[in-house]
Structure 1
């Protein structure tokens, strides 16, 4: 499978000409159309990426990446998937209701620029219920345009966890846990009639499978897209930019850091063995590439854009 063969921009629409940088990237996995959409970026402390790392090693990594030294922009990516008669949104970004993050919450206008009507979305997969994945569903311009019978798929473990979330193993900026808790509660309140829970895995549409991994949150899930002998994995928050060279570095937003390490190592080993396309929420847009094993760690190989 080559990127030239797979990256047919089958989901297209009018250009968002007011923006000077691209904000969506289309590809095809077999017979399934996939659109990676940038929800924007939000600034975070570099320490959040590596809470258990030696400070000097952390500083050296961010310097080598021309980032930091104290903060960097964290990318936010969501997916739109078309399989058969279904249009599936995978995660919904941050939304615009949180002060201090003016460059995030972009996906509604970017879907519109792509010619995609939110009213055409039949299903939504939520990888986990952190605010940068569900916040976009709480803004009025989204709520008012979604169809009343849209199906929202979330792991049952995730819904149960957020009834009384445990932050004891996280290391977040002080105000964040309460905002995460209240946003998750509001999401369930707003969409309880639309939520469809699954235990281990659920086929949302032909070739589109949501699969429980745990780790980052107890109900964190990934999405596998399989068609025509080709595969793409959307890894959600199972890994972050530091993960390839330092898979053992903990992220401050992980509710079970040790399990998170096991999950991301397993996912990257799978991706390296299969050669599949790999996308994640917080890898730099468009976050389309492949994973290779390198020494005791991994290497990220960004795909050549087809344009």
Structure 2
């Protein structure tokens, strides 16, 4: 599997960016571009709130991560298949009440990558948490989108946000209210653009969205396949700790037990095919493969192709 011309893409970083923020991969005839929306500083307990604190702290130390809080990566993906340009998730946007100034970079970085918002024909939402839909709520963005834009989302996800259940989550103060209000606003502003599907939908040739549930009832993953090659964007089904500890519950999971089952099943599936995996909160550029290591898994990041 060959990557696109990352020499051009990575050297064309905006003047205000200290590091590369996009990474291109070619999957057969389909172009995939991973874009960093920034980072979210969150408590480390969010990675496994059902884990023994001492074991969780030991894992953080082994990973050379700070003990109390660290920066979660936040990635979105652009896919070009035939005549369609598909944005998978849209990043955080802006929420000043939560003090997350280092995320919400998607729109700016799309522009920096030479991707006109008017060229986006489809959006796929892995789910409707605010760090996946907020970019479309940034002032002025909707005016730049095509009037015939199609936003694909699982019907179960839209239904869930009519009356969301946070009883099994473990989030910092303020997040449930922010998530609820952002989803409500999104449905109000983009309801006419939504194209809900049940379990599986082919968005474009070789680009299939599949509902997994777990993280949220309508959470989906997106598989890109062409020319015998494949890549899966896992959304929030997989977090960094989920390879070694797939049974740990992430604080944002609305059904943690089901999320763990989904995670194990997805990781086994990707490991069996040796196809590429990308996920929202794996460290940028979040492109790698999965190996099975006994009863757990091992993340094998690709070597950067310049």
Which of the five TM-score ranges fits, normalised by the shorter chain?
A: over 0.9
Partner of 2:237: 238
Partner of 2:61: 63
CA positional deviation for 1:232 = 0.1
Partner of 1:219: 218
Partner of 1:8: 4
8 Å CA contact 2:36–2:284 kept in 1: the answer is yes
Partner of 1:31: 29
Distance in 1 of aligned mates of 2:218 and 2:232: 17
- Give the secondary structure class of the aligned counterpart of 2:263: helix
* Superposed counterparts of 1:54-93, under 5 Å: 54-93=52-91
- Give the secondary structure class of the aligned counterpart of 2:36: strand
- Find runs of 4+ consecutive structure 1 residues off by over 6 angstroms: none
8 Å CA contact 2:232–2:276 kept in 1: the answer is yes
8 Å CA contact 2:235–2:280 kept in 1: the answer is yes
- Give the secondary structure class of the aligned counterpart of 1:6: coil
CA positional deviation for 1:147 = 1.3
* Superposed counterparts of 1:172-251, under 5 Å: 172-251=171-250
What is the alpha-carbon root mean square deviation over aligned residues? Answer: 1.3
Partner of 1:40: 38
- Give the secondary structure class of the aligned counterpart of 1:144: helix
Distance in 1 of aligned mates of 2:238 and 2:120: 27
Structure 1 position 96 matched with structure 2 position 86? no
Distance in 2 of aligned mates of 1:73 and 1:192: 32
Q: How many positions carry a matched residue from both structures?
A: 303
Gaps in structure 2 of 5+ consecutive residues: none
Gaps in structure 1 of 5+ consecutive residues: none
8 Å CA contact 2:9–2:22 kept in 1: the answer is no
